[in-house]
Amino acid sequence: MTMEFTNYMQLALQQAFFAIGESRPNPAVGAVVVKDGIVVGKGRTQRPGSAHAEVMALRDAGELACGASIFVTLEPCCHYGRTPPCTKAIIEAGIKKVYFAHSDPNPVVHGKSRAILEEAGIEVHEGVDACICACVDECPNGESSTECRVFEFRVMSPEDRAMREGEGREVFREVERFFEAYDYFVRTKRTFVEIKSAVSQDGFMGCIDAVGNYMPLAITKPGANCWNHELRAMSDAVLVGAGTLLADNPSLNVRYVEGHDPVKVIWAGHHEFTAYEITHLVVFSSKNSKFLVYSSVAQPHVADFVLLPHESFAENWREMISDLSARGMHRLMVEPGAGLARELFNDVANAQNDAPLQNVRPLWNRLDLWRSTDSSVDEKLDQLIEQGAVKGGLEYPELPAGLVAKESAVIGPDVLTVYYP
């Protein structure tokens, strides 16, 4: 019989998702306290000046924390800042073992917490080792334990052991991905910019109507859509250009997965929004929508916007990123139309081809490009063209030369390739 596994670090990561937007500019961290195979406490980092994930989980566990283990997505802090160190709270609670998945790049924390905890007699595991140890087999009574108390005689097979290790490594990769933007923010004090796009088998990202306006085209299937919404959930903000906003009228909220909605960011460029557009576009008219508008022209109908003063796209984009960085935003997800994507890609190409620009920081950090292998998407587009409903397909801009493809994945008919400039 093949064992079923759960992973306590995965549960901690789920907690971390709900800290995004609350903890900013602090990292979004999750923690769970486990005793005798039972989760007795959960927590996530609160707003700045309030409790961190470890303290929240310890409070939730209460007296049960004594002799228990704690699983944390990020290395516990060990210094006095707005709050006392989490290492102090862990020691005082009587925690026996600490597992943390990701080392904090902050130099006041990095590598110091383990020594403090071990000096207090606490067993510490970190990184991929912590994530593998966090993977346990499910017991028939609904609990989880590294040693199932119901069938203690059962010996884990080599296949089950390999599966357990594989699941632990997968969680570790998820945590590393989660903190990619935070690591970059700590190193550079800049927001990490992640582009998400989708193209059909023939390279189209949308349609063009008879008068040349952009129209959306459904490309990816449910699996990829869930992945995209998980990216939204782990992003501080999501950005679209004015063209995409007017054509799609997207809600830009999180669906299909659990998590907070990101702040909506509108790249207006030289488009001045009318009173009618402000009233009828979901992003502006929704009562609970938090949005920011960055514009090269005045916006008399927008209550609050940031006027970008520069002549070039690149200078204005960097001005916007500086502002988002000052707001403590770690990750900006960009869902560009063809025009905005072209501007972003052209800047990388110019930096590669012009020697004086070699040291210029690229305008983006990661591109998640989905390509559909489902021919029915292009067949539907052909039908719309034949019916006269659309003029033609909108091609995705050519990628700049020299991009590095580092990852790939397949979900149903959709293939993801991850590029870095």
Positions marked catalytic: 54
214: amino acid identity, one letter: Y
Find out whether 111 and 104 touch, Cβ atoms under 8 Å.
no
C-alpha count within 13 angstroms, C-beta hemisphere, residue 360: 18
Q: Residue 216's CB: how many other CB atoms inside 10 A?
A: 15
Angle at 46 between CA 40 and CA 49, to 5 degrees: 125
Q: Is 37 exposed, middle or buried (0-12, 13-18, 19+ CB in 10 A)?
A: buried
Output b/e per residue, 383-407; b: 16+ Cβ within 10 A: ebeeeeebbebbebbebbeebeeee
Q: How far apart are CA 219 and CA 324, in angstroms?
A: 30
Q: How far apart are CA 410 and CA 421, in angstroms?
A: 22
Q: Chain centroid to CA 176: how far? A: 11
Q: Kindly list the distances between the CA atom of residue 374 and the CA atoms of 87, 178, 363, 386, in Å, as whole numbers in the listed order.
A: 51, 30, 31, 20
Find out whether 217 and 206 touch, Cβ atoms under 8 Å.
yes
Q: Kindly list the distances between the CA atom of residue 193 and the CA atoms of 26, 41, 184, 303, in Å, as whole numbers in the listed order.
A: 18, 34, 10, 26
Closest CA to 366 of 155, 170, 113, 191: 191
Q: Chain centroid to CA 382: how far? A: 35
Q: How far apart are CA 364 and CA 353, in angstroms?
A: 17
Q: What SS3 class is residue 155? A: coil
Closest CA to 162 of 388, 345, 395, 2: 2
Q: How far apart are CA 300 and CA 129, in angstroms?
A: 55
